[in-house]
Amino acid sequence: MASLAKCVRLALGAWVLSLMISASVPSIAQQVNPTASAVKEQQLLQELNRIQGRVSIPDQRSGVLEQPAGREWREFRNVTLRWIGGIAILGTLAVLVVFYLACGMVRLQGGRAGRTIVRFSAFERFVHWMTATCFITLAISGLNITFGRPLLLPLIGHEAFSEWSQWAKYAHNYLSFPFTIGVVLIFLMWLGGNIPNKVDVEWIKRGGGIVGHDHPPAYRFNAGQKAVYWIVVIGGAAVAVTGYELMFPFYLSGIEGMQMAQMVHSTVAMLFVAVMLAHIYIGTIGMQGAFEAMGSGTVDANWAKEHHSLWLDEEDARAATNDARSKPAATAAE
Amino acid sequence: MARMKFLCDADRCIECNACVTACKNEHEVPWGINRRRVVTINDGKPGERSVSMACMHCTDAPCAAVCPVNCIYTTDDGVVLHSKDLCIGCGYCFYACPFGAPQYPKIGNFGSRGKMDKCTFCAGGPEADGSKEEYEKYGANRLAEGKLPLCAEMCSTKSLLAGDGEIIAQIYKERVMKRGYGSGAWGWKTAYRETIAS
Amino acid sequence: MLIRRTQRSESDRRGSVAALLSGQTGGLDRRTFLRRSGLAGGAFAALSTLPLGSVRKAEAAAAGPLTAGATVRKSICTHCSVGCTVTAEVLNGVWIGQEPTWDSPINRGSHCAKGASVRELVHSERRLRYPMKLVGGQWTRVSWETAINEIGDKLLDVREKSGPDSVYWLGSAKMTNEGSYLFRKLGAFWGTNNTDHQARICHSTTVTGVANTWGYGAMTNSFNDIRNAKTQIIMGGNPAEAHPVSLQHLLEGKELQKANFIVIDPRLTRTAAHATEYVRMRPGTDIPVLYGMMWHILQNGWEDKEFIQRRVYGFDDLRKEVEKWNPEEVERVSGVPGEQLKRVAKMLATEKPATLIWAMGQTQKTVGTANVRASCIALLLTGNVGMSGAGANIFRGHDNVQGATDVGLDIVTLPFYYGLAEGAWKHWSRVWEVDYEFLKSRFDSKQIMETPGIPLTRWFEAVTLPKDQVAQKDNVRAVFVQGHASNSITRIPESLKGLKALDLLVIADPHPTTWASLAVEAGRKDSLYVLPIATQFECKGSRVASNRSLQWGEQIVKPIFESKDDLEVIYLMAKKFGFADKMFKNIKVENNLPEAEDILREMNRGSWSTGYCGQSPERLKAHMKNQAKFDFLTMRAPKDDPEVGGDYYGLPWPCWGSPELKHPGTPLLYNTNLSVMDGGGTFRPRFGLEREEKLPDGTTRKVSLLADGSYSRGSEIKDGYPEFTLASLKKLGWDRDLTEAEMATINRINPATPDAVSWSLDLSGGIQRIALMHGCVPYGNGKARMNAFGLPDPIPVHREPIYTPRVDLVAKYPTLPDAKQFRMPNIGFSVQKAAVEKGIAKQFPLILSSGRLVEYEGGGEETRTNPWLAELQQDMFIEISPADAADRGVKDGGWVWVTGAENNSRARMKALVTERVGKGVAWMPFHFGGWFAGRDLRGNYPKGTDPIVLGESANTITTYGYDPATGMQEPKVTLCQIAAA
């Protein structure tokens, strides 16, 4: 990666410079002509890609005199990122629209059984929705930073846009905390159901049911959901870490590190948004009966049978055991 | 119209910090904000040079390009100014700036940034020239009074030059010709994409 | 356009001052910008039409609604001796802005960090606001009246019991000429010569050494004139940090002349960074280095033989000493290789004019006087004195240290170097129009009246030593310090004992200073007063820059809070002592404030010896008004100008004769290329007319000390001549030109033998006038002395520092034997011997030197209180070389303990690992204070007056060592050890 190359170059340059310096260290009374050996700007820039010196104020970062690396970052932020974001988000939307138009909502093939079973507890649903609302706010306020200036600003004018962006920045900063907590909880809460296994291979082979006409079997979470889980966990961790690096400037790194952090943060966030669009689609208009899982927390037994047959078997088995143990029996959910 | 630029002749700069305190004095810049600073390269070694640095008022300013709210603009004099009313303190200009010019007062929690502050080339901000509002937000507007930035005007050795880019480049060129050496106009290539032949 | 910013001053400034007066001390961000929150609704409407991308500036008509009505006043920067003019904009009594002073021929608009921030000094919220005293360890507010009464009663009580010499009057180079002169006069009327100021610890050795060489102890040329030099050698100075604006002249001169720019220093300083040749030497070996250069000069016959023959005395004696310093010995002692010195020597001798620039690197040593003498000798040897581009360019320290020295705020002389002999006292009693017998009655004895006082470097020993070791009636029991730092005096641990033992300590200053914090630390609970003094921007008067130019500073604003002008405090003390009427006989006093102009006029009337007689207040004010008319290079105004025609800027002394004579001042001392009335001059014969020398065969011969065939242009006497007296005028037949009034004055001065009345005693100025009329210099035309007989070392001799790492050299180059000097014992020899015997150099292997930072000045309390400066240097530090740091596990920026060779002294500070210093050398800035031995003394200051930045003082670590000729301390070379904390 470019950054690695940069690091190597930096280290090499520092080494070369230190060699030069140590070669010219004056011992007592060694004759030197400071003017003849004056440092030259372009030479330093070529060696190190940045010029750093000594300042007396405690803020040592101000010792960086010149650092043209910002130009590359500018190119990324103003051009590359907008392409990445645009393609990822618009592309996903387009695919979803096409899919919806082509296939429509995935309906329950067997109709509703009338019997429901619990899929997500109240706590699970709380964590999901907390994280989700945070995510949406973060996504919108984040997208505003990248796309607001060309898209929104001309529509609403400078003052309104700044006002909105200021709020958006506050929201982005403050909501990062519940979002991060949410990601951590999601990670812990659903880790058990999201370890990949053999069933996933089959599920993936059959494209989650798109290939062929029946649904592949799955435990509580199918491979698609597992993918979303891991994207949320890993992507969430990535945006959180890089986000905090930006929010607490100079605690973790200098400017170059912050430029890197911003690049990672924004790229991951764009892809994250794209994936979440698909997630939202499937959870809502994409599939009949899916929203209930996070809505009421219960799903129709037929839905469970079609999409998570192995999980339903497990749940039924567990319910039977419970029934045997404790009478009078009660259905798990009414 | 004149295109304003800064030029620090490192063969004259002695790190006396007059530019730094003149700036503080003229604009009453608070503790912790350093619109201008002096950096010494190769400190204590032969060839040591000090350079006074602030916002260079770049051509095609990167800060302005990356600002998410487009609050940074270039005046007809080539001075890069910004509106503190529009600034949201996101820090992007600081990532883009090659010279570490943008400064943020630490306000609020977790290192969050306040409104960006930087050298204005003593040209104030978007408010009416010489108005109280302008002074309170950005400091004095010397340019509107026909004066140049105080940092350069008070420079102890006339190392720091400010003014029309062509004129100060000419002054520097003559100096280099006369004395026969010059370590370059620091930052010019990065800021203005040009160098002064020396 | 020079005016602006109306509203700010009224609302903001007034608001803050009001807040201060009501006792609220705001935080540092008192004046932070009003940060308009992006959420504030009001921000919207105002900007709704803002066209971004390219905003057209509103037309210039809007310029200056904030500026209307301000007035512009000019004063002089109070931070160093370069003498930069400060232009202030004042509105409604508030100093609202600073502008560059383009017209000043000295600074051409420029300032350094300190000069560019002086406005804050006046408005500082941490200044002393009212008099306070320490009662039972608590700071308590008192009125001025109470303070003056209590202080006065106590001083009179000390005087009653122990005599007038038991009160030490410590004045300041920060005062105007008028202030320092009056302070010296106060000492004279009080009856003591214990009156001193910063020159003691700054350039006392220069004044003595240089005056003993060629007449006057001051910078011979000017900053501007250095532009003419082909070779500039800076040895023992770091003007880039100590005199930054001077570098404008030095560096431009270097560029325009393609001059050699040589820096000889133990540190690669900010000045050395621009050198064409940098010579690193061991601290304390200036004489070997200079002799090393002279060795090459003599070896190659580069000396200026004609110059030496005509204008120099004692060359043969010098040659004998120089011969001992062959390149091998020089390198062994100083570490400088012979080849490099040969190169530098050649430039000094052959690429002329060459100038030698120095500051405290040479002076602050036990051999300080000898060091500067060796420097002068190097110039004499190469004929580099008395012409443009050459000379001994001695950069003085404080803004008015040259002036305060001239006006005699000193222990060895009355004003203007008249000395302390009976004749001097009689001269000043005539000027002051008081009875000589009255003055004599004020002293313990006539003998003590004519004996030099105690140097300020020894004040604490004068308090604590056994009574019989202090050669006056009693120990010092009270110290009245007006404008002097305590932390710039060496041996702070020792001084604490003195601070404790004093009966009374009075600190008159804009800030409480380390005198207060250390006195409380020493355990004082009572009899400690602080009096708020106005900064010099709140006073008017004249100051003398290093180049001897006098500049008149206007009062920019009135003294704020309850602070008082220096002059007023001196008057109040005199009034309390009951001799105000006599002391201010010819000085107008209004509301207790003596008029500065009148004081200067009194000085004009008495200062014939130094040529301060021509600089009337009117002429000085005209110069400030007409600054733009003076040429930047020559500093001279066009001859046809009606107000300042032909004058040199600031009438650099000597400015002979009465103001009416219109002498233009002397821009270059001893310059025979100009006639005296154009500022020319000759070396001053001050040490007799001839000298008997012993020859090797036992016989003696008489050698003339007058110039040989050299004279200033247009002189009617075409050879050397002695000073002018009435007798010599008579001999020449020139006495007929004296007017009747002049003759009458001369007869009044010495009715018995009017013939003995000289150019310096003649209050009529007639003798000077006649001498000048004939193109002659009033003081005569003599030779400069390579052999300054009368000094402890007539020819400079290398002597190792008291605490030297080179114990192997002590036997060959020991310091001078113990002796009694300035009423005090100087036991340097015993201390050096004991240090060698105890192996101190093994315990403390690093050489410790000290110096200036650009951001701070002197003891630093004032500048460390200025947030614009304090922000730039927030921690006391010690520079240590990477090799020494690695040996000790010391990291750059890490805390270290520095320990010193005396009193188990120790100090905690940050390490600055840098190659500025060589291996074996450490360096500290001397401006910090307010910590002691690792303890923060912030609580010792009266509430709200503590400087923003505190730190350990370098002088906590410094040690014994006093120049025998002046009592100069030795903070530039001692030993220390450093360990990571």
Q: What is the pLDDT of residue B108?
A: 53
CA distance B51 to B160: 9
A37 contacts chain C (CB < 8 A):
no
Total count of residues recorded for chain C: 981
DSSP C826-873: E-HHHHHHHHHHHTHHHHS-EEEEEE--SS--TT-HHHHT-HHHHTT-
If you measure CA to CA, which chain A residue comes closest to C265?
A29
The CA-based dihedral angle spanning residues C295, C296, C298, C301, taken in that order and rounded to the nearest 10 degrees? 180
Question: For chain A, what is the total number of helices (H) and then of strands (E)?
Answer: 14, 4
Are the CB atoms for A158 and A195 separated by under 8 Å? Answer: no
- What number is the average pLDDT over the span B149-160? 95
Environment class of C956 (CB within 10 Å of its CB; exposed 0-12, middle 13-18, buried 19+): buried
Q: What is the pLDDT of residue A326?
A: 57
Q: What percent of chain C has pLDDT over 90?
A: 91
Environment class of B168 (CB within 10 Å of its CB; exposed 0-12, middle 13-18, buried 19+): buried
Q: What is the pLDDT of residue C660?
A: 94
A132: tokens are: 């989700």
Assign residue C822 a region: left if phi > 0, alpha if psi is -120 to 50, beta otherwise? left
State pLDDT tens for residues C711-764.
999 999 999 999 999 999 999 999 999 999 999 999 999 999 999 999 999 999
Q: How far is A240 from chain C (nearest CA, A)?
A: 26
| Residues C319-327: contacts with CB under 8 Å, at least 24 apart | C320/C795, C321/C291, C321/C795, C321/C796, C321/C797, C322/C291, C322/C294, C322/C295, C322/C298, C323/C295, C323/C298, C324/C291, C325/C288, C325/C291, C325/C292, C325/C294, C325/C295, C326/C295, C327/C292, C327/C295, C327/C296
Phi, psi at A59, each rounded to 5°: -70, 85
Confidence of residue A44 (pLDDT cuts 50, 70, 90): confident
Q: What is the pLDDT of residue C695?
A: 84
Domain at A69-324: CATH code? 1.20.950.20
Phi, psi at C393, each rounded to 5°: -95, 90
Among the listed residues C472, C399, C398, C433, the one whose alpha carbon sits nearest the alpha carbon of residue C606: C433
Centre a 10 Å sphere on the Cβ of residue C638 and count the other Cβ atoms it contains.
12
If you measure CA to CA, which chain B residue comes closest to A250?
B111
Centre a 10 Å sphere on the Cβ of residue C375 and count the other Cβ atoms it contains.
27
CA distance B135 to B119: 13
Averaged confidence pLDDT in chain B: 90
B69 contacts chain C (CB < 8 A):
no
Confidence of residue C333 (pLDDT cuts 50, 70, 90): very high
Say if residue A25's pLDDT is above 80: no
Distances in whole angstroms, Cα of residue C532 to Cα of each of C131, C293, C567: 6, 50, 13
Residues linked to residue A237 through DSSP beta bridges, in sequence order: none
Averaged confidence pLDDT in chain A: 82
CA distance C139 to C518: 14
CA distance C206 to C362: 9
Residue C489: strand, helix, or coil: coil
Confidence of residue A116 (pLDDT cuts 50, 70, 90): confident
DSSP C745-801: HHHHH-SS-GGG-BTTT-TT-HHHHHHHHTT--TT-BB-EESS-BTBSSSS------
- What number is the average pLDDT over the span A136-163? 93
Environment class of A82 (CB within 10 Å of its CB; exposed 0-12, middle 13-18, buried 19+): middle
Q: Which residues of C touch A27 (CB under 8 A)?
A: 918-919
CA distance C123 to C30: 12
Q: Which residues of B touch C247 (CB under 8 A)?
A: 14, 16, 156-157
C272 contacts chain A (CB < 8 A):
yes
Phi, psi at C593, each rounded to 5°: -105, 110
Say if residue A2's pLDDT is above 70: no
Are A35 and C261 within 8 A, CB to CB?
Answer: yes
State pLDDT tens for residues C245-259.
999 999 999 999 999
CA distance C371 to A238: 67
Among the listed residues C346, C334, C332, the one whose alpha carbon sits nearest the alpha carbon of residue C295: C346
Residue C15: strand, helix, or coil: helix
Say if residue C955's pLDDT is above 70: yes
Are C29 and B45 within 8 A, CB to CB?
Answer: no
Q: How far is A28 from chain C (nearest CA, A)?
A: 6
Among the listed residues C947, C949, C954, the one whose alpha carbon sits nearest the alpha carbon of residue C926: C954
Are C275 and A159 within 8 A, CB to CB?
Answer: no
DSSP C505-555: EEEEESS-HHHHHHHHHHT--SSEEEEEB--GGGS-EEEE-TTS-EEEEPP
Centre a 10 Å sphere on the Cβ of residue C373 and count the other Cβ atoms it contains.
31
Instruction: Enter the DSSP assignment of C73.
Output: E
Distances in whole angstroms, Cα of residue C529 to Cα of each of A211, C519, C938: 96, 11, 18
Q: How far is A229 from chain B (nearest CA, A)?
A: 29
State pLDDT tens for residues C587-621.
999 999 999 999 999 999 999 999 999 999 999 99
CA distance C527 to C134: 6
Residues 962-981 of C with CB under 8 A from A: none
Confidence of residue C65 (pLDDT cuts 50, 70, 90): low
Are C268 and B46 within 8 A, CB to CB?
Answer: yes
Q: Which residues of A touch C277 (CB under 8 A)?
A: 31, 33
The gap from C-alpha C506 to its chain's centroid, in whole angstroms, comes to 23
Are C278 and A157 within 8 A, CB to CB?
Answer: no
Are B144 and C65 within 8 A, CB to CB?
Answer: no
Q: Which residues of C touch A57 (CB under 8 A)?
A: 871-872, 874
Distances in whole angstroms, Cα of residue A117 to Cα of each of A112, A216, A299, C443: 12, 20, 6, 112
Q: Which residues of B touch A34 (CB under 8 A)?
A: 46-48
C56: tokens are: 């057209």
More confident residue, A32 or C814: C814
Q: What is the pLDDT of residue A332?
A: 42
Confidence of residue A118 (pLDDT cuts 50, 70, 90): confident
Amino acid (one-letter) located at C689: L
Amino acid (one-letter) located at C960: Y
Are C917 and B44 within 8 A, CB to CB?
Answer: yes
Nearest neighbour of C52 by CB, restricted to B50, B73, B143: B73
Phi, psi at C960, each rounded to 5°: -60, 155
Q: What is the pLDDT of residue C455?
A: 97
If you measure CA to CA, which chain B residue comes closest to C3?
B145
- What number is the average pLDDT over the span C568-574? 97
Element (H, E) at C231: strand C231-235
Q: What is the pLDDT of residue C67?
A: 65
User: Which of A75-84, A310-319, C343-352, C653-662 is the least confident region?
Assistant: A310-319
Confidence of residue C411 (pLDDT cuts 50, 70, 90): very high
CA distance A44 to B41: 10
Are C274 and B11 within 8 A, CB to CB?
Answer: yes
B8 contacts chain A (CB < 8 A):
no
Q: What percent of chain C has pLDDT over 70?
A: 93
Residue recorded with tokens 């532009």: C227
- What number is the average pLDDT over the span C443-447? 96
Q: How far is B127 from chain C (nearest CA, A)?
A: 8
State pLDDT tens for residues B114-127.
889 999 999 999 99
Q: What is the pLDDT of residue A162?
A: 92
The C-alpha R_g of chain C, in whole angstroms, comes to 28
Residue recorded with tokens 């300032």: C111
N-term to C-term CA, chain A? 56
CA distance A234 to A211: 28
State pLDDT tens for residues A64-106.
888 888 888 999 999 999 999 999 999 999 999 998 898 888 8
Q: What is the pLDDT of residue C15?
A: 33
Averaged confidence pLDDT in chain C: 91
* pTM of the predicted model as reported, rounded to 2 decimal places: 0.88
Q: What percent of chain B has pLDDT over 70?
A: 95
Q: Which residues of A touch B95 (CB under 8 A)?
A: 70, 73, 77, 255, 258-259, 262
Confidence of residue C38 (pLDDT cuts 50, 70, 90): very low
The gap from C-alpha C782 to its chain's centroid, in whole angstroms, comes to 27
Are the CB atoms for C198 and C958 separated by under 8 Å? Answer: no
Buried b (16+ CB within 10 A) or exposed e, A202-231: ebbebebbeeeeebbbbbbbbbbbbbbbeb
